[in-house]
Amino acid sequence: MALLQIEDLAVAFGPAADATTVVDGVGFSVDAHETVALVGESGSGKSVTALAIMRLLQEPGRVTRGAIRFEGRDLAPLTEREMAAIRGDRIAMIFQEPMSSLNPLLSIGAHVAEPLRLHRGLSRRDARARAIALLDRVGIPSAARRYDDYPHRMSGGMRQRVMIAAALACEPALLIADEPTTALDVTIQAQIMDLLSDLQAEFGMGILFITHDLGVVAEQAHRVVVMYAGRLVERAETAKLFSAAAHPYSAALLRCMPDDDEQAGDRLAVIEGTVPAPTALPSGCRFEPRCPQAVAACRSQEPPLLALGPNHAAACIRPLEAAQ
């Protein structure tokens, strides 16, 4: 049984009579000990999908269709109190910008100790000791001394480490990491990803890793889910996606990756155009206006997700040609 199972998920914003669907028909799974990367340009629906899993969508956002099952349990009918018992304990999330996610009025140690007191019932003293150990584990220097420091006194990389320590305090079964290295320099990015890999091996957790950095995906993910304009367009094992992407959008993303042979000043490949707004989606395939392989049929029908082989599916009416 999958640790996390998403089935036909749809998320909409706005009043029911005039709602705008921003995630439509997304489905994938994450197993224990596995990293699944959710990729796509900004506006593809990745972060909204993560917030739906965590039940953190702000009104007027809501799940309108589908199922989110965690450890076989449907999360939709749970009360907020029941969901709060899972959130931060069995499922944890690292957000993309730690400065806006950390409470500036709480010390870094308090951020890590709070879930231990809430979910594990530890005393203030025991929670502090465990929090210091966690801060040390994620590489905060002089953790005992810095326990009472506030977020604004730390660098971006150190704040991100605090977020990781807080997320992993209760040893969750599932970690959702939403662009956890976006604002960090390359060296710190590598350190953070190595840290997540080490902690995954230690705790055995599944990771849903949301990113636009395909270089990180190649090194970290076992499987990849590609989203575009709210839809799932390809789902594959990482090696398969990188060697034979079947959807033109996936292939275009891969072409935009820097090449080891490129010289300074070389122009990177780009995908012409932008992701359409949810209120201005084209008819048929949503990628058609930007797709170099589009044919007339692409403008009239929205392609279903087709199985192409073991653990590989793509939503394209010409997937085999796209993969050549």
Q: Give the pLDDT score at 183.
A: 66
Q: Is residue 62 part of a domain?
A: yes
Reported as a single tens digit per residue, the pLDDT across 280-292 is 999 999 999 999 8
Reported as a single tens digit per residue, the pLDDT across 128-142 is 999 999 999 999 999
Dist CA 218 CA 172 (whole Å): 24
Per-residue pLDDT, averaged over 175-198, amounts to 85
Reported as a single tens digit per residue, the pLDDT across 151-181 is 999 998 899 899 999 999 999 999 999 988 7
Q: Give the pLDDT score at 249.
A: 96
Q: Of all residues in the chain, what percent carry a pLDDT higher than 70?
A: 94
Burial readout 104-122 (b: 16 or more C-beta within 10 A, e: otherwise): eeebbbbbbbbbbbbbeeb
Same domain, 176 and 278: yes
Q: Is residue 95 part of a domain?
A: no
Same domain, 158 and 27: no
More confident residue, 191 or 63: 63
Q: 151, 171, 191: which is the final residue of a domain?
A: 171
Strand (E) or helix (H) holding 100? helix 98-101
Q: Give the count of domains, the chain.
A: 2
Q: Give the pLDDT score at 237.
A: 98
Same domain, 181 and 277: yes
Same domain, 295 and 162: no
**208: nearest Cα among 175, 241, 165:** 175
Q: Look up residue 175 and give its amino acid.
A: L
Dist CA 56 CA 80 (whole Å): 10
Mean pLDDT of the chain: 91
Reported as a single tens digit per residue, the pLDDT across 95-115 is 877 677 899 999 999 999 999
Same domain, 160 and 177: no
Same domain, 131 and 241: no
Q: Is residue 91 part of a domain?
A: no
Statement: residue 321 has pLDDT above 60: no
Domain extent at residue 263: 4-80+172-323
CATH number for the domain including 202? Answer: 3.40.50.300
- Whether 163 and 135 have beta carbons less than 8 Å apart is answered as no
Q: Give the pLDDT score at 269.
A: 78
Q: Is residue 94 part of a domain?
A: no
pLDDT band at 262 (very low <50, low <70, confident <90, very high): low
Reported as a single tens digit per residue, the pLDDT across 35-90 is 999 999 999 999 999 999 999 999 899 999 999 999 999 999 999 999 999 999 99
Q: Is residue 85 part of a domain?
A: no
